Amino acid sequence: MTVTAEQLRMAATMTGVQSIDHHKCSICNTMTHYLIRGDEIFFDASCNCSVGVGWQRRTWNDAADWVNMQKDVATQMEIAELFGLKIGATGEFPDGKLTPQDEGAIQVAVISEKGAVRINFGKPITWLGMPAKDAIGFASLVIKHAIEAANASGEVLPIEIMELPIRVVNET
C-alpha cells in the first residue's frame, strides 16, 4: 500500500483529526504525537524523561513516509485510518453519476506483498468506472506495484513494460 501526502492531508482535513499517536518513549512510556492544526502538521516528541523541543513542524510527506515505511500492510492501513483515510465507499460523486447504478467514489488501496498485487476496494463492487486520466493513473499504480512484487519475489516478468502510443482523436 502506498499513500501520498495529499491523501493524508485531505483525509485529516475532512475528518477533523487533530492528534495521532506515533510511538511511546522507550524509557518513560510517554506517547509522542503528530499534531494537526489546519493544513499544517507538527510532531511533538516531548516526554516525561527528557526536555523535548516541543512541537516540530513537519511535512505531510514525512507523515506519508511514516505510513509507507511500515513492513506490515495491516499496520499501514491502521495508521492511514488514524489520519481519517478509509478504504471503501466515500459517498461522493466527483464526476457525477455515470449510470443509475453508480454508488459513488471508492477509496482503494493497491498493495504489493508476497510476490502479488492486491487491490483492496473495501467493499464488494460490480463494476468500476472513471475518467480516462484517472484510469491511466490507476493502471500506472497497478503496474508499479506489479513491478515491485516481481522484483521482491525475484520473478522475471514475461512481458516488456513500455510506453503505449496513445493518440487522442477529437471528432466534431
pLDDT tens-digit readout, 129-169: 888 888 888 888 888 888 888 888 888 776 665 555 555 45
Cell of 124: 464488494
Cell of 165: 502510443
Q: Which residues, in sequence order, are CB contacts of 19 under 8 Å at separation 6+?
A: 33, 34, 35, 36
Distance (Å, whole) CA 159 – CA 71: 28
Spans of all domains in the chain:
5-82, 88-153
Q: What is the pLDDT of residues 36-84, one digit of tens each?
A: 998 899 999 888 777 667 789 999 999 999 998 998 878 888 899 899 8
Q: Which residues, in sequence order, are CB contacts of 7 under 8 Å at separation 6+?
A: 64, 80, 85
Cell of 171: 471528432
- Residue 161: per-residue pLDDT: 54
- Residue 21: per-residue pLDDT: 93
Q: What is the pLDDT of residues 90-117, one digit of tens each?
A: 888 888 888 888 888 888 878 777 788 8
Distance (Å, whole) CA 52 – CA 90: 39
- Residue 51: per-residue pLDDT: 65
- Residue 145: per-residue pLDDT: 82
Strand order from edge to edge, sheet including 19-24: 19-24, 31-37, 40-44, 55-58
pLDDT band at 172, cuts 50/70/90?
very low
| pTM (two decimals) | 0.59
